[in-house]
Structure 1
Amino acid sequence: MKMKELLLFLSCVLSVSADGLHSDIKIAGCSDSYGEDVYTLGGEEVAYTDFNKKEEIYPQPPFVDGMNYPGAYENAVAQQQVCRTTLQNCRKGMKDFPLEHDAPSGVMIYTRDEVEFGEENTLICYVTGFYPAPVNVSWTKNKEKVTGSSINVPYINKDGTFTQIARLQFTPQLGDVYSCKVEHLALTEPATKFYEVETSARSDPGVGPSVFCGVGLTLGLVGVAAGTFFLIKGNECS
């Protein structure tokens, strides 16, 4: 794990299932101005601490029988104090190490669901491979700045870099062009990705079924007519 930046992340395996397929991991991290405390299960985020809102957040959808960690926020605040004390000790011990910054190795923009004109959807900006955390992500629509987006807490990759995912709710209309701009300490200029709403989106989901029903009905009527014709001819021959 990278420790050269003034940022400290600690992780521990809380439990491992009998078949070895799932692990329950807690990650706590801090810097002089930033703090993180997150629980994961099998690689999925199940809870994290929002120090701005002063509460524990459980991001699972409502139909999931999620976990609950009583006293999690209070424990996270206490952990931050321990983390910053440890950070100060690390800073003294590593004062001669040069700082290291890694620019994002991958930035992608895509939609959560299949695009249909006029139907609300979600644009996702996926950023990975950067160090240290976090990145800053901003959005535009037709070159105009868009607000109201969200971004998750950065989570650490196996190689010590980080991943963050930003989301923007939007209603696709033909010709609209969206962009997500990613800023990071290691980037000399922002990394920007574009998404254009193209004609491949289905403007009328009901057209396809209607056409197929019409063709099917026509073929059925032709089949009935042909059958009647051959039946009459057979009777005349007898």
Structure 2
Amino acid sequence: MMMMKVKVSELVLVLSWVLCVSAEVKHQDIQIVGCSDSDGEVMYGLDGEELWYADFVNKKGVEPQPSFIDHMSYEEGTYEGAVADQQTCKQNVGTFRKALNNPPVKLVPPSSPIIYSRDDVELDQQNTLICHVTGFYPAPVKIHWTKNGQNVTEGTSINVPFLNKDTFFRQTSRLEFTPQLGDVYSCTVDHPALDQPLTRIWDVEVQQPSVGPAVFCGLGLTVGLLGVAAGTFFLIKGNECS
């Protein structure tokens, strides 16, 4: 099945299709080609994961594939094809704008960002903070990080916008960090549909082992045993007196 959707103002062409590999298993294979006056995107994905995208700043293709899948390499010339797609995309933007008398862009703001750590927090052990935002149009959003009130750029990364089934976008940024008790991090998201940026705070907390139930259980057991011992003592004394 192949679906074609057109959004005139920013995203010109979106192609997506579902491949049924067996009677029981389905996989979703998606290609996104989008452009605006200042931004562009070409991305291939599978089951919600990016397999390849064009980095137009560094002029190369990137394969940010997760470690739990078999790595797939794209053939030589894929990036050059993406550059050609952008040229066609921008030509189509101009054609649509002229034909539709330059319609206004419909702005949809992103959801409040969600921030969480990739792994359980252990002090002095390297980890990754993840900031996720979804439901916005057009793409992309801008995401930046702070640590204890200071802007952080080292160790940060952001994926290309990913298209949801509702034709809005989601995007994720990551920050590599080493937890130290008391450190406070923030993730701030900006988008043209927002009156002011959205910020979510995350501070380093280490879950300590819970000792309360064990202590109370131990005290209860001790009191219970003392009660049994006292009862036995008085029972023996009563038998001796009779």
Q: TM-score, normalised by structure 1?
A: 0.78
| Cα-to-partner distance string for 1:116-137 (whole Å, 9 max, x where unaligned) | 0010100111011111111111
TM-aligned CA distance change 1:120 to 1:201, over 3 Å: farther
Counterpart of 2:12 in 1: which secondary structure? strand
What is the alpha-carbon distance in structure 2 between the residues aligned to residue 192 and residue 163 of structure 1? Answer: 16
Q: Could you say which residue in structure 1 is the equivalent of 2:17?
A: 13
Alpha-carbon shift at residue 15 of structure 1 (Å)? 4.7
What is the alpha-carbon distance in structure 2 between the residues aligned to residue 142 and residue 201 of structure 1? Answer: 23
| Cα-to-partner distance string for 1:201-236 (whole Å, 9 max, x where unaligned) | 68xxxxxxxxxxxxxxxxxxxxxxxxxxxxxxxxxx
Which of 8, 33, 41 is the aligned partner of 1:36? 41
- Which region of structure 1 is more displaced relative to structure 2, 120-129 or 56-65? 56-65
What is the alpha-carbon distance in structure 2 between the residues aligned to residue 182 and residue 192 of structure 1? Answer: 6
RMSD: 2.2
1:80 and 2:80 are equivalent in the alignment:
no
What is the alpha-carbon distance in structure 2 between the residues aligned to residue 184 and residue 63 of structure 1? Answer: 32
Alpha-carbon shift at residue 96 of structure 1 (Å)? 5.5
What is the alpha-carbon distance in structure 2 between the residues aligned to residue 18 and residue 93 of structure 1? Answer: 44
The one-letter amino acid of 1:138's match is H
Q: Could you say which residue in structure 2 is the equivalent of 1:155?
A: 162
The one-letter amino acid of 2:60's match is E
Gaps of 5+ in 2: 210-242
Alignment of 1:43-192 (within 5 A): 43-61=48-66, 64-70=69-75, 71-95=77-101, 97-148=103-154, 149-192=156-199
| Cα-to-partner distance string for 1:150-169 (whole Å, 9 max, x where unaligned) | 11101111112111100011
The one-letter amino acid of 2:196's match is E
What is the alpha-carbon distance in structure 2 between the residues aligned to residue 201 and residue 190 of structure 1? Answer: 34
TM-aligned CA distance change 1:87 to 1:96, over 3 Å: closer
Alpha-carbon shift at residue 10 of structure 1 (Å)? 2.2
- Which region of structure 1 is more displaced relative to structure 2, 74-83 or 93-102? 93-102
TM-aligned CA distance change 1:79 to 1:201, over 3 Å: farther
| Cα-to-partner distance string for 1:168-198 (whole Å, 9 max, x where unaligned) | 1111111111001111101111100000112
The one-letter amino acid of 1:8's match is V
Counterpart of 1:32 in 2: which secondary structure? coil
Gaps of 5+ in 1: 203-238
What is the alpha-carbon distance in structure 1 between the residues aligned to residue 13 and residue 6 of structure 2? Answer: 9
| Paired residues of 1:4 and 1:98 also in contact (CA < 8 A) | no
What is the alpha-carbon distance in structure 1 between the residues aligned to residue 164 and residue 66 of structure 2? Answer: 24
Alpha-carbon shift at residue 8 of structure 1 (Å)? 2.1
What is the alpha-carbon distance in structure 2 between the residues aligned to residue 144 and residue 73 of structure 1? Answer: 36
| Cα-to-partner distance string for 1:56-111 (whole Å, 9 max, x where unaligned) | 11112467432222121111111111111111111112326332111112410100
Q: TM-score, normalised by structure 2?
A: 0.77
Which of 187, 194, 200 is the aligned partner of 2:201? 194
Q: Could you say which residue in structure 2 is the equivalent of 1:26?
A: 31
